[in-house]
Amino acid sequence: MSSLLVQLTQSYGPSGNEEVIRDLIINEIKQFVDELNVDPLGNIIARKKGPGKKLMFAAHMDEIGVIITYIDKKGYLRFSNIGGVSQYSALFQKVRFKNGVIGCIGYEEDIESMKDLKLDKMYIDIGAKDREDAEKIVSIGDAACFEGPFNQQANRISSKALDDRIGCYILIEVIKQLKNSPNDLYFVFTVQEELGLRGARTSAFSVHPDYAVAVDVTATGDTPGAKKMAVKLGKGPAIKVKDNSIIAHPYVRNIMIETAREAGIPYQLEVLEYGGTDSGAIHLTKGGIPSGVLSIATRYLHSPVEMADMDDINNGIKLLRALAVKEMGAEGIS
């Protein structure tokens, strides 16, 4: 079990509230990079200098969560979602505020049919006696993340926020392992991805790389009743072909495949029929940036029990490290 991966997944960091997870990442990487800064939106931009092409690797720090909109006279908290919160995954779960207060999500009426569940009929119970009691420890606008402990059985791990602390973990490990590169490397830990790829857009504009690769999670087709999809746990990192936000640039996609084959790293090809990653914003920045995605297969996305395979994660580290030292040509610009 990686203690760093445990720390990353268990840290607090809903979209727009990334301070805690950002400080953790900075402390992990600051001695291994040549330059490090936090931009006005809150993205971490870390550079390992090299003479060649400018490459940007991006993983988002933020996680889904909830935000308090109203406190009623009995001390119950009404809330709205931050990012793609499912009413089915949220019901009767625990949430944690930045100050450590824990709440439980309840429902205001008897549940006759799961298909009728609505977030606006849910509330958070923090054990307060009334509104005055609740307002001593939480306020309107406070955000909370879901609680989901880290567990590992054999190679399989489960936790909240594997989306996308897995990507952050991969970037951190590559930063630590990589001594030098023929490329000029920018490792960007982005904010507010779950709200529309916001940090990726601004950081890509600042860095303006020659090529970019987002590192994120993706869905799987290997559970009962899952939508048919050729991505499974334990079969290697996935190289994205397409999702709803991008058709991966052919040059970037092909050089990732070539790199995996040369290094003997197992890989899968991914076509995701919904969703997107930071690459969706990056590739449309300025005059266009050739972009791809390295994905880690993850079950039960946007729930407190997301599940992934450590072999896929470790092979993802190997692939990104090999890609970082690959000499990139100008083919992608044509």
Angle at 130 between CA 125 and CA 132, to 5 degrees: 115
Based on the domain organization, do 140 and 17 belong to the same domain? no
Does any domain span residue 52?
Answer: yes
Q: What are the distances in angstroms from CA 275 to CA 59, 83, 243?
A: 15, 12, 6
Distance (Å, whole) CA 111 – CA 12 = 31
The b-or-e profile of 292-311 (16+ CB within 10 A means b, else e) is: bbbbbbbbbbbbbbbbbbbb
Based on the domain organization, do 327 and 191 belong to the same domain? yes
Distance (Å, whole) CA 317 – CA 176 = 11
Based on the domain organization, do 71 and 122 belong to the same domain? yes
Kindly list the catalytic residues. 193
CATH of the domain at 304: 3.40.630.10
Final residue of a structural domain among 146, 177, 201: 146
- The closest alpha carbon to 43, from 211, 210, 193, belongs to 193
Final residue of a structural domain among 117, 146, 175: 146
- The closest alpha carbon to 66, from 34, 94, 26, belongs to 94
Based on the domain organization, do 318 and 223 belong to the same domain? yes
- The closest alpha carbon to 306, from 176, 162, 170, 173, belongs to 162
Distance (Å, whole) CA 148 – CA 159 = 5
Q: What is the pTM of this model?
A: 0.95
Based on the domain organization, do 49 and 197 belong to the same domain? yes
Omega before 164 cis (within 30°)?
yes
Based on the domain organization, do 244 and 329 belong to the same domain? yes
Predicted pLDDT of residue 115: 83
Based on the domain organization, do 122 and 250 belong to the same domain? no
Based on the domain organization, do 170 and 131 belong to the same domain? no
- The closest alpha carbon to 313, from 155, 160, 112, belongs to 155
Predicted pLDDT of residue 334: 43
Distance (Å, whole) CA 252 – CA 239 = 10
CATH of the domain at 137: 2.40.30.40
Based on the domain organization, do 121 and 182 belong to the same domain? no
Task: Specify the DSSP element, H or E, that contains 21.
Answer: helix 19-29
Structure tokens at 19: 């301070």
Based on the domain organization, do 174 and 44 belong to the same domain? yes
Predicted pLDDT of residue 140: 98
Predicted pLDDT of residue 114: 82
Based on the domain organization, do 286 and 195 belong to the same domain? yes
CB 211 within 8 A of CB 288: no
Domain residues for the domain of 100 are 65-146
- The closest alpha carbon to 85, from 71, 66, 100, 102, belongs to 66
Final residue of a structural domain among 115, 146, 177: 146
Based on the domain organization, do 172 and 276 belong to the same domain? yes
Digits of tens for pLDDT over the chain (334 positions)?
689 999 999 999 999 999 999 999 999 999 999 999 999 999 999 999 999 999 999 999 999 999 999 999 999 999 999 999 999 999 999 999 999 999 999 999 888 888 889 999 999 999 999 999 999 999 999 999 999 999 999 999 999 999 999 999 999 999 999 998 999 999 999 999 999 999 999 999 999 999 999 999 999 999 998 888 999 999 999 999 999 999 999 999 999 999 999 999 999 999 999 999 999 999 999 999 999 999 999 999 999 999 999 999 999 999 999 999 998 877 544 4
Predicted pLDDT of residue 331: 58
Does any domain span residue 155?
Answer: no
